Amino acid sequence: MNKLEINVVLKIRIPDDDITVNGILKNLEEETPIILNKILENILRAIEERAIDRIKKGETGHYVLNGHQRKARKLITHFGVFYYRMAQMRNKDTGKVIVPLAKEIKLLPYKQYQGEAMEAGVGLSIHLSFDRASNEIKRIRGQGASKSTTYRWFSDISRNEGRWPPMKKIPYRYLMVDGTKVHLQGKLGVDIGQKEMRWALASLGVGKAFEPVGFWIDKDWGDIRKDLEDRLEYNKLEILFSDGGPGIEENLLAEGMRLQRCLWHGKRDFPYILYMEGLKKEEQQPFRKMFKEIPIFSFTKERLEKITPSDYKKIKALVEKTKEGFKKLLEELDNNRYPKAKAYLTNLYYNAITFFDYWLESGGWLPITTNAIESAFSRISNRVKRVGRRWTDNGLLRWLMLALRKIFKPDLWDQLWRQYLKINVKIEFISCRAEYIWL
């Protein structure tokens, strides 16, 4: 790696009075593009000279200088517009003309916007509409790509990012799934109504965060199971967490896995099930009172974390009291009059106390709600349901894959851009020296 020294001399007029730190910083921000323009110009000129010298040495007698391009090449960077007239060389034997600098720095033809200038706009498009993302970049920088240009770059990047990173070697133990409605459109913008967007999150174990491992649009749980089996060590998953939605347990619960129902959904949905049985609010009160008295539904994450191994006997007693509470309520629900409520409660009873059993076995507390996936939904919900409004299924999946990297795994976002921009080596800044003199 060769060293290059660039000397930059700045002349600055500083007012005698009323200087503020924010005024200095803002003025410096406004003048930075001019400074960077000059530095970039010198870097490119130095690389161009080296490229020309290499060609002369490698193709002795064949290539000679042939002036410069008639029009300066326009590059739009993150700090503004940059123009540079590149030198040309001509092969004396064939007449072929080459542009050494363009070849040396892998400059793509006909592209004014450079990839590094688009990262901010594409990144903002994860949170804002393409129009607002474009306008925000223009507001901050004073210039920027249009809405359509931002969208084209976003589409180009996301088109090749529909694959999940390798996950077979990650020892996931817990799986959490859920779904939410999204509005989709078909070809030519035809409205095809609401469909289910389904997610899966996985965790390495007790106290470990859940992270996204799958997104699907309008896919049934059976197909989702097959996809997860292809990408994860599915047979090593121990616990399935869900809100009890139809089809989840039947399709995703593998042999050896246990199910933990979300207690929050259990409490929320019970009155709704009673209403479906024809019971108005007043008629529900006796059943709701018995339901509320079941100890398990008074537990919170904070309360569980305060329990120690010395509380073993207390927990055993609470488990028994919980089972008794469920049994009493089930006895009160007549199977002929309230079949749906009884089936719902029976299913909840068998799958809501897994976290108790798990603690008694291992001393670790499992999550008692699906808040992790609800939280993940909330981080993208506004963009998907309010800003985006309607999506094609492929468009939404591509957006989700970039959102995965930008929101949930920032290290993958940085890696994506380094790969996309083909940043194979770095320019290393060895030192920076600045001096001043009053004129």
Query: What integer is the mean pLDDT of 58-86?
Result: 89
Residue 89 confidence (pLDDT) above 90: yes
Distance of alpha carbon 51 from the chain centroid: 40
Q: What distance in Å separates the CA atoms of residue 242 and residue 370, rounded to the nearest whole number?
A: 6
Ordered by start, the domain boundaries in the chain are: 174-380
The residue count for the chain: 439
H/E stretch holding 63 reads strand 63-68
- The residue among 353, 289, 346 whose CA lies nearest residue 319 is 353
Q: How far apart are the C-alpha atoms of 326 and 346, rounded to whole Å? A: 8
Reduced to 3 states (helix: H, G, I; strand: E, B; else coil), residue 213 is strand
Helix (H/G/I), strand (E/B), else coil: 174: strand
pLDDT at 204: 94
Distances (CA, A) of 311 to 169, 305, 316, 317, 363: 37, 12, 9, 10, 11
Q: Model pTM greater than 0.85?
A: no
- What stretches of 295-409 show up as alpha helix (H) in DSSP? 301-305, 312-332, 339-352, 354-362, 371-381, 393-403
394-416: average pLDDT = 86
- Calculate the CA 24 to chain-centre distance: 36
Helix (H/G/I), strand (E/B), else coil: 67: strand
Tell me the angle at which helices 393-403 and 147-159 cross, rounded to the nearest 10 degrees. Answer: 80
Q: Which tens digits make up the pLDDT trace of 146-190?
A: 999 999 999 888 877 767 877 999 999 999 999 888 888 777 677
Q: Which residue's entry shows tokens 């390495």? A: 204
Question: Using CB atoms within 10 A of its CB, is residue 397 exposed (0-12), middle (13-18) or buried (19+)?
Answer: middle
> How far is it, in rounded angstroms, from Cα 234 to Cα 254?
8
The pLDDT of residue 234: 95
Residue type present at position 22: N
Pairing of strands 174-185, 191-203: antiparallel
pLDDT tens digit sequence for 241-274: 998 888 999 999 999 899 998 888 888 888 888 8
Q: How far is CA 37 from CA 78, 106, 374, in A?
A: 11, 19, 47
177 φ/ψ angles, rounded to the nearest 5 degrees: -135, 155
**Structure confidence at residue 230 (pLDDT):** 93
* Percent of the chain surpassing pLDDT 70: 98
Mean pLDDT value across residues 287-314: 80
Look at the block and give the residue holding tokens 């009172």. 289
Residue 13 is encoded by which pair of tokens? 């007029």
pLDDT of res. 146: 92
